[in-house]
Amino acid sequence: MIRKVEVERFSLTSSRSFDEVLAAINDAIGHPDMAEFWKSAHQTRSAAEQESTIQKALGRTGLMSFVQFDHGAIIRKDTGRDSPRMVRVVMGNPLIMQEMAKHVPDAGSYAPVTVLIDERSDGVHLSYDRMASLLAQYGNSDALAVARNLDKKVEALLSEATG
């Protein structure tokens, strides 16, 4: 089966420098050693223990970085210049994913989420595809409520990072 999905993209442009915007995002999210995080999460013996392990990995926003891809480094090799700078941050919270996936298992294919930070001639752009728009097709109000709260969290972080 193939479904068409309509996605809402939240975008902001900042006059702050690329480094300032990326630093603001990184300061607000957790940065666990992922190998250690997964090892610890898999070794927990109860839901409470697992929640505690996850909570320790989260930053002040309740989110953590899973991985960051420096797309700009690849693009700059081709151009031979110092720009553009572009980083894809894969972030989220496994407990939020768990809540969404309880109601809509496919939520696991959308979480954690991606934020793209890229430098253009008119400023630093931040882009995020809203989780609620991705899950709307499933028509589950419980999953949508969790997704909307996640969207608020991510969008507040991006607004704060843009200054």
Whole-angstrom distance, CA of residue 6 vs CA of residue 137: 8
Contact partners, residue 46, CB within 8 Å, separation at least 6: none
pLDDT the model gives residue 78: 74
DSSP 93: -
DSSP 136: G
pLDDT the model gives residue 81: 73
Whole-angstrom distance, CA of residue 100 vs CA of residue 129: 16
pLDDT the model gives residue 3: 85
- Domain residue extents for the chain: 9-29+62-162
Helix (H, G, I), strand (E, B) or coil at 44: coil
pLDDT the model gives residue 83: 73
Contact partners, residue 92, CB within 8 Å, separation at least 6: 63, 64, 66, 111, 112, 113, 150
Beginning with the edge strand found earlier in the chain, give each strand of the sheet holding 64-69 in spatial order.
9-14, 123-129, 113-120, 86-92, 64-69
* CA–centroid distance for 112 within its chain: 6
Contact partners, residue 52, CB within 8 Å, separation at least 6: 44
Contact partners, residue 69, CB within 8 Å, separation at least 6: 87, 88, 90
Q: What is the CATH number of domain 9-29+62-162?
A: 3.30.310.70
Cα-Cα-Cα-Cα dihedral sign, residues 41, 33, 105, 154: positive
Helix (H, G, I), strand (E, B) or coil at 23: helix
Q: Which residues of the chain have pLDDT under 50?
A: none
Taking a C-beta distance cutoff of 8 angstroms, is the pair 10, 130 a contact?
A: yes
